[in-house]
Amino acid sequence: MVPLTVNGVSHEFDGDPNMPILWYLRDELGLAGTKFGCGMALCGACTVHIDGRAIRACVTPVSAADSKEVTTIEGLDPGGNHPVQRAWRSHNVPQCGYCQSGQIMQAASLLAENPDPSDEEVIDGMQGNICRCGTYQRIFAAVRTAASEV
């Protein structure tokens, strides 16, 4: 039994503790905003927070969240108005949108740890998140905008 909190709600997970958090969120809790892209922590589409820090949910077992707080895109801000989310919309970042939950969660974690990142720090911080539609230019601009607001 693994006790954990997801978006402020307490859960007791009684399945295989090796199950990646991604599939617990998607298949068992019905939180579909977190996406599957590679299964190897190579693309960042599954990024969520454990105790506020970005992790790749596709390779992180539920056991790693024992007694911890998991935050997904659905729980980042009750109204969807986290500064990163607002910046994303003002820069019209998404194309297909599929990777964007992971991008936003990564950016939110990056800015929580470093509210005033340099350009290089933004690039380093977002390097693990792939966008096949190629929205990087707008991601970069949106992170800079959000940084000025957090």
User: Footprint of other proteins on this chain (CB under 8 A)?
Assistant: 15-16, 19-20, 23, 26-28, 30-40, 42-43, 45, 72-74, 76, 80, 85, 88-89, 92-101, 104, 123-124, 126-140
The per-residue DSSP string of 89-124 comes to HHTT--SS-TTHHHHHHHHHHHHHH-SS--HHHHHH
Closest contact distance (angstroms) between CB of 48 and other proteins is 10
Q: Closest CB to other proteins among 38 and 150?
A: 38
Question: Three-class SS of residue 21?
Answer: helix
Closest contact distance (angstroms) between CB of 67 and other proteins is 22
- Exposure string for 115-148, b = 16+ CB within 10 A, e = fewer: eebeeeebeebbeebbbeeebeebbbbbbebbbe
Q: Which residue from 83, 110, 88 is spatially nearest to 99, judged by alpha carbons?
A: 88
Q: Closest CB to other proteins among 49 and 138?
A: 138
Closest contact distance (angstroms) between CB of 65 and other proteins is 15
Closest contact distance (angstroms) between CB of 6 and other proteins is 13
